[in-house]
Structure 1
Amino acid sequence: MDRMRATWLGLVGSMLVGASAFGGDTTVWTVDVETSGEDVFWTSPTAVDPGASSYLLTSEIQLITVDISWNGIPFGTIDVTDQIPPDQAVIMAEIPGPAPVVLVDADIAYPLPPEPATLAAHLFIELDADGFAHADVTDVVLGTIDIDLGFPFGIQTVQLEAVHIVLGLTVESTTLGDLDGDGIVGPSDLAILLANWGQGGVGDLDGSGAVGAADLAILLANWGN
C-alpha cells in the first residue's frame, strides 16, 4: 500500500516548539472518530483552564484503520498506523491563550493536489471559552487506492469505505510567569526572575533576550494566577 501520511500534522508542524518554559495543569484526551463520508464531531469530556496564557499541545496518532471494498465487495479493515512517519505521528505546538483559541484549521488531503484524493477532509479543532475542546471533521472525501490484495487478486484498485482514527491529545495549560511550574505565580517565581535579571533564559517572558522591567510587569500582572 502507498504510504498514507498524516498530512494535517505537517500543517500543524509549522508551530513546532520545544518543551514549555512554564509549568501548568495537564489534561489528556482521546479523540476517537470514524466516518464513512459523513461529518463527525467530537467534544472533550473535561476542560482545560480557559484563562491560561498559552496551551502546549502534544498530539499523537495512536491508530488509523481503513475499511476497503473491491468491485463492491467488502474486503476488510487494514491497519495503516505504522505507515505514518515518526516525525509526523507525534507533534508539539504552543498556542497563545486565553481561550477561545483555534488549535487546527486546515484542509487535508492525501495525496496532495493535483492528484485525485484518496482521503480528504477539513479539520477544525478549537478550545471554547469554557476550556472544552471541539474537533470537527467535515467535507470528507473517501477515494480509491491501489493495494496488493494477495493471491490470486494481486494489486487492485480498492475503494475506501470508512476511516477510523484514534488520536491522543495532551494539553498543558500554562500561566505566563509561573517559572517554577507549581501552577501559580507567586514569590518563588519572582525570586527566579530577579536572580536572572539582565540575563536571557528563564524569566525572559517577553522574549527580548534579557530579563528586565517588561518581564517583571508581566509576572506581576499574573500574580496569584
Structure 2
Amino acid sequence: MKRSVLIGCLAACGLALSATTVHAGTNESWNISLTTTGNDVTWTSPTAIDLGFPQYDISYNITKVETQIFGTWGDITSQLDPNTLSGNTIENSLPATLYDNTVNEAGSSATILFQINAAGHGFASITSVSLGFPVTGVRVTGTIDAAAIPEPAMLSMIGLGGLLTLARRNKNTA
C-alpha cells in the first residue's frame, strides 16, 4: 500500500512538472519586417521567451535585404556574406545578439541588428541610416526562433514521472 502511494505521489509530481514546463513562452517564433526611408526604426516582439530556464536554443534567418532606388525595391541579399545571414546558438543568458552588421550599398549604409533582449523579447532595428543618392529606402525581413531548454534535472523528473505513471497503470491492469 505504501509503495503504491509513493509511486502515485512521484507520478503526480512528474506530471505536475511536465505540465509546468510545456506552456506558452518556452518556444517563440517571430517574423520581422522593417522598412526605413532614412530614420532609425525598431521592432519588438509582442511576446517573450520565458526567462526561467538555464539555456536557450536561438536561431535567426535574414531572408531579404532590399534597397529602394528611384522608387523600385531591389534585392541585395546576395551581396551580403551568406555565412552571416542565418545562424543558430545556445545561450546561457539574455540578451543575445544574433546579427549586428552594417550594410553598404551605392553610397548608403545602415546597421541591421537582430537580438533577443534582456526581457526575452525578439528585437530588430535598422539604425545609423545614411541614405545617399540614388538610394531612398532600406527594407529587411527575417525570422527569430527561440526555444527554452529545461535543466537536465527537470527533464529527469519528467521522465521519471512518466515511467512511474506507466508502471502504476500496468500494475493496475494486471
- TM range, normalised to the smaller chain? 0.5 to 0.7
Structure 1's 41 and 80: CA in aligned 2 closer, same or farther, altered over 3 A?
Answer: same
CA distance in 2, matches of 1:76, 1:91: 30
Q: Distance in 1 between matches of 2:36 and 2:54?
A: 35
Q: Normalization by structure 2: what TM-score?
A: 0.63
Give, in whole Å, the separation in 2 of the partners of 1:50 and 1:76: 42
8 Å contact from structure 2 (residues 109, 128) kept in 1: no
1:197-212 aligned within 5 A: none
Contact (CA 8 Å) 1:58, 1:91: kept in 2 or not?
yes
Residue of structure 2 equivalent to 1:81: 77
**Quick one: percent identity of the two aligned structures?**
24
Structure 2's unaligned 5+ residue stretches are: 1-21, 161-174
CA shift at 1:32, angstroms? 0.8
Structure 2 counterpart of 1:93, which letter?
Answer: T
Query: Counterpart in 1 of 2:60?
Result: 59
* Paired residue secondary structure (1:187): helix
Asked if the contact 2:108–2:130 (Cα under 8 Å) also holds between the matched residues in 1, the reply is: yes
CA RMSD of aligned residues (A): 3.2
- Determine the C-alpha separation between the residues in 2 that align with 1:122 and 1:138: 7
- 1:94 and 2:90 matched: yes
Q: TM-score, normalised by structure 1?
A: 0.50
Please list, as runs of the form range in 1=range in 2, the aligned pairs for 1:84-123 lying within 5 A after superposition. Answer: 84-97=80-93, 101-104=94-97, 108-111=101-104, 118-121=108-111, 123=113
3-state secondary structure, aligned to 1:185: helix
Pairs aligned (count):
137
1:117 CA displacement:
5.8
Q: Which runs of 5+ in 1 are unaligned?
A: 1-23, 69-73, 144-157, 179-183, 191-225
Q: Tell me, what secondary structure is at the counterpart of 2:83? A: helix
